[in-house]
Amino acid sequence: MVAISLWGLPLWVPAFGDPGAPSHPTPAAPREDNVMKMIIGVVIIAWLAIGVAAAGQRGYFGNDRAVNCKTSASTGLTILAGPLNYAGINPKVRCKTPQPSS
């Protein structure tokens, strides 16, 4: 290591050919906040996957279902409810869409 001064502050810089200097940059260890973000992301994806499974078991993805506000909203709400579907929650939505004037 070689000491140099920058605006009066000493800086230690690896010298050329210094055996203690790494030949390539080392990857940084994951920080705690990144690990927490990853855990939260995995939990959210698992929650939604369980909701999709519940909606599939209820037959919400079949071709025989009408596509309208009620069925689409009920399917979306079932997916968002995730594991709560297996705790007895059965979300249903009532939609009243405006009818065209004659």
What pTM did the predictor assign? Answer: 0.60
Cα–Cα distance measured from residue 28 to residue 96, given in angstroms and rounded to the nearest whole number: 54
Spatial neighbors of 77 by CB under 8 A, at least 6 apart, are: 91, 92, 93
pLDDT at 5: 60
Cα–Cα distance measured from residue 77 to residue 91, given in angstroms and rounded to the nearest whole number: 6
pLDDT at 15: 57
pLDDT at 67: 76
pLDDT at 40: 93
pLDDT along the chain (102 residues), means of 10: 60 58 60 83 95 91 79 89 89 81 76
